[in-house]
Structure 1
Amino acid sequence: MQCDQKIMNRLKRAEGQMRGIQKMMSEGQSCGDMMVQLAAVRASVDKIMGVMAAENLKHQLENPDADPDRQAEQLAKAMRLIEKK
């Protein structure tokens, strides 16, 4: 599965949020405020993982492997990614 622009944008947004938290730390802002931002980062990363897992499963279904055993293995792997999410 290739990383599409939507996922890349989400990753860049999460990266920016992390830099913002680092800045908050260096400015001595309250722990509570930083925890709110960290929760937002966690939610953002969870969303990215969900989108990636769904895209992977979609790819597996739209592009089946010629070998049924390998296809079943690939689908099982995609499902495990979703379960971990």
Structure 2
Amino acid sequence: MEDIEKKSEYDQDVKNRLKRVEGQIRGILKMMDEGKECKDVVTQLSAARSAMDRSLAYIVAKNLETCIRDAENEGESADEVIGEAIQMLVKSR
């Protein structure tokens, strides 16, 4: 049963976000192949990085929300879960 829960952990919204990032990366590679200006490539890379950062934050936030609710339902403190979420975000930078 745990495997079923894990499969649904990532909703379609986050998958769509990452598919857009994938499209951005492909576009950047095409720009590079076409010899586009560095400034334009860097601008698009920055946009892709920003989209990845937002996706990461979304995943961590959704996971944190679920873990806090689970901890509260089990009568446990959510402090450890919050600490883990903070560490995930800090390591991603």
Amino acid at match of 1:25: M
8 Å contact 1:50–1:82 — kept in the other structure? yes
How many pairs align?
84
Percent sequence identity over aligned pairs: 37
8 Å contact 1:17–1:41 — kept in the other structure? yes
Shift of 1:54: 0.6
1:30 and 1:83 mapped to 2: Cα distance? 33
Matches within 5 A, 1:59-74: 59-64=66-71, 66=74, 68=76, 72-74=79-81
1:67 and 1:73 mapped to 2: Cα distance? 13
Q: Is 2:47 the partner of 1:40?
A: yes
Q: Is 2:28 the partner of 1:21?
A: yes
Per-residue Cα deviation, 1:8-44 (whole angstroms, up to 9, x for no partner): 0000000000000000011111111100100100110
Shift of 1:6: 0.7
Instruction: Give unpaired runs (5+ residues) of structure 2.
Output: 1-5
Shift of 1:63: 1.6
Over 3 Å off, 4+ runs: 65-69, 71-75, 82-85
- Give the equivalent residue in structure 1 for 2:3: none
Instruction: Give unpaired runs (5+ residues) of structure 1.
Output: none
TM-score, normalised by the number of residues in structure 2: 0.76
- Work out which structure has the larger RCO, using CA pairs closer than 8 Å and 6 or more positions apart in sequence: 1
Alpha-carbon RMSD: 2.2
Amino acid at match of 1:49: L
